[in-house]
Structure 1
């Protein structure tokens, strides 16, 4: 167990969600910054097992290896010490530092900054991704059931406020997209923002957590403050189960519990004015989200984003092959052979097929397009990645669906079993 609270919090998240590569990269960076290169190398190995060609992890691996070998030595340590001493004021390390008081003293002339692991200030907007998406739900291939659910639970009430008022409904609160990994939850959320003509503000857990006591809660408060100022805005929390993990599972992490409490406060319609802020969360494991986050006024609507249907698979394959030389590829035939594959799996098939064609082109010295035999070879090398998720989901449906929260998931799994 580490004595660094931020690393401890991040490792707690990784224990529950080992597939969160951005969080693991943050852990590696923090360990490397503290000179704990052996531990960082261990995390690099795990990260590269997930994504063997990740350039950021590879660079961190080289950095840690060089440091352990003595090549980086004293110069790296001196540079880090110099940067840290210049960027961090003594008061900032005090666990009782009053961020709210500091903000009031500075006022609105300089907006409070987010802080990275070296406490170097970021300007507003540097945390997360802030954009105005051009795509809409018309750009999302297939997934008609998801589109209908979004229209009913969010888009309809926003576009027809008087009708929504007459029927006693509204778009307030949050919408939770859940389903297997790699099935387009982020893409769908971005398309919703485009549909509404709203800003899209994407936040990951690494954008929030900070090792100073109280700073994570402050960062979260600033995220909501910025979203309210930029309304209309879709505020998107990716992997919300990592940030809003069940507090009963966080007994040894008081800092992360406080962050969950702050998220509850910011989403509470009784204490926060989120008019024009449409909050969407995405998770692979909704059963790990704190139950208080799924009460009315918070993430009180859930939409299953399941495996892509045939039309969606064709759209995904076309997208990943559009800028590559291709010849004689029957997308419908490929879609028919990839029923259990996620969007990420389909992207990997296209990538592998392209690599095969490129390797052949290198051998012959002439460009050869990607063909169906390349796709077939890539299919033989790629297995659906969502099997473990469906096993977990099956247990939830059978043993933890007393309140009917996962009836939609249960119905979907019955259709899969009947095929």
Structure 2
């Protein structure tokens, strides 16, 4: 850039010559940040995280460049001034613990339980584990070029082009809903997005959130997002969103309705900048059961149809599941044609079934043999694609309930495949 200082220009040239030199890139990012060019510093920190996932210095620099305040450290000295330790010593032996274990050999007592269950489980944001930026990239996803292009436009291009992002007013926040038949790789794609962004990955499902005690479920939702904000950049992946954020009009449980309300609040953020660097991806097999408020602009306002793997993707999946099995004379091109509409899970099951057939045959004859095309094609004929029932339901929804063109991409696919 023309307004670069000589030092920044020199460092840019050095980074271009050695893109994998993380300390050098972070030094450039520090200079850019000091010069008030935070967007460029974010881009350099993101590139550093791609070369060194989990690097603490790169993550800290990115957090500062985004303007995210560090988590406050509680001061043990602050408080009401009351000496609780002295009061505890004074009543020691007079007031018994609320709950005590009887008959234990050491005579020890369990930790006191609270009436709202807060002491029974994780209870705060520190209990949520964020996976470090992984090595999975979109290049590791076989085929699915349309999906990759949409993800590039929604998340990746703005991160890699800070000047264009600033020009077009694109923030680093975003929400995307992945939907489609079960077993087609929605979770794997979400992890690949986190890898591309050099971001942490926090996966959440209904089992993680739902709690017996009143208010605890909503607190769990809040803690998840607080964790993501503190460890930004972070991808929050909401698995099976139809269970976590189902339509409130169909929900009889006030607890589940409150969870949806809390989720809406967290997606909006306390302020416009609260969720900066937090990328929300959600997945569902039944998007028509998701509460409409979750798909309002500014929340999960973009949808992406994840279809059964195409030819190149099926070949990559089959190759992966056969890589450590004894095979011979396998014609992958022929097998790919025989597995139209198979999901990724179906293809894994096909390889397992073919291996089982060869194993049983070897056990009966006493002679070990390899897995061949006969086993694989036999398994393909035996297994019915699990995507069929999903498309049967989705066809009705796309035909009669396509409000606002929500399912135009699904209708287009069904017409191309002559399923409509």
Q: Same fold (TM over 0.5)?
A: yes
Q: Do the aligned residues in 2 keep the contact of 1:241 with 1:286 (CA within 8 Å)? A: yes
For the residues of structure 2 that align with 1:88 and 1:379, how far apart are their CA atoms? 57
Q: Secondary structure at the match of 2:386?
A: coil
User: 1:245-291: CA deviations, max 9, x gaps?
Assistant: 011111x2100000000000000045461111111001111111111
Is 2:404 aligned against 1:403?
Answer: yes
Q: Do the aligned residues in 2 keep the contact of 1:175 with 1:281 (CA within 8 Å)? A: yes
For the residues of structure 2 that align with 1:127 and 1:375, how far apart are their CA atoms? 42
In 2 relative to 1, CA 125–352 (structure 1 residues): closer, same or farther, beyond 3 Å?
farther
* TM-score in terms of structure 1 length: 0.70
Q: Could you tell me which residue of structure 1 aligns to residue 267 of structure 2?
A: 267
Q: Could you tell me which residue of structure 1 aligns to residue 257 of structure 2?
A: 257
For the residues of structure 2 that align with 1:210 and 1:418, how far apart are their CA atoms? 42
Q: Which has the higher helix share?
A: 1
Q: Could you tell me which residue of structure 1 aligns to residue 26 of structure 2?
A: none
Q: Could you tell me which residue of structure 2 aligns to residue 199 of structure 1?
A: 200
In 2 relative to 1, CA 228–129 (structure 1 residues): closer, same or farther, beyond 3 Å?
closer
Q: Secondary structure at the match of 1:130?
A: coil
In 2 relative to 1, CA 333–211 (structure 1 residues): closer, same or farther, beyond 3 Å?
same
Q: Do the aligned residues in 2 keep the contact of 1:193 with 1:200 (CA within 8 Å)? A: yes
Is 2:113 aligned against 1:89?
Answer: yes
For the residues of structure 2 that align with 1:418 and 1:217, how far apart are their CA atoms? 41
For the residues of structure 1 that align with 2:122 and 2:278, how far apart are their CA atoms? 26
In 2 relative to 1, CA 220–418 (structure 1 residues): closer, same or farther, beyond 3 Å?
closer
Q: Could you tell me which residue of structure 2 aligns to residue 176 of structure 1?
A: 177
In 2 relative to 1, CA 350–123 (structure 1 residues): closer, same or farther, beyond 3 Å?
farther
Q: Do the aligned residues in 2 keep the contact of 1:149 with 1:303 (CA within 8 Å)? A: yes
Q: Secondary structure at the match of 2:280?
A: strand
Shift of 1:165: 3.0
Shift of 1:203: 1.2
Shift of 1:176: 0.7
* TM-score in terms of structure 2 length: 0.70
Q: Could you tell me which residue of structure 1 aligns to residue 318 of structure 2?
A: 317
For the residues of structure 2 that align with 1:207 and 1:317, how far apart are their CA atoms? 32
In 2 relative to 1, CA 377–129 (structure 1 residues): closer, same or farther, beyond 3 Å?
farther
For the residues of structure 1 that align with 2:341 and 2:204, how far apart are their CA atoms? 29
In 2 relative to 1, CA 269–336 (structure 1 residues): closer, same or farther, beyond 3 Å?
same
Is 2:299 aligned against 1:308?
Answer: no
For the residues of structure 1 that align with 2:194 and 2:122, how far apart are their CA atoms? 28
* Mapping 1:126-205, distance limit 5 Å: 127=128, 130-205=131-206
Q: Do the aligned residues in 1 keep the contact of 2:172 with 2:278 (CA within 8 Å)? A: no
CA RMSD for the aligned pairs? 2.3
Q: Which runs of 5+ in 1 are unaligned?
A: 1-77, 80-84, 94-98, 100-114
Q: Which runs of 5+ in 2 are unaligned?
A: 1-101, 104-108
The number of aligned residues is 313
Shift of 1:122: 8.2
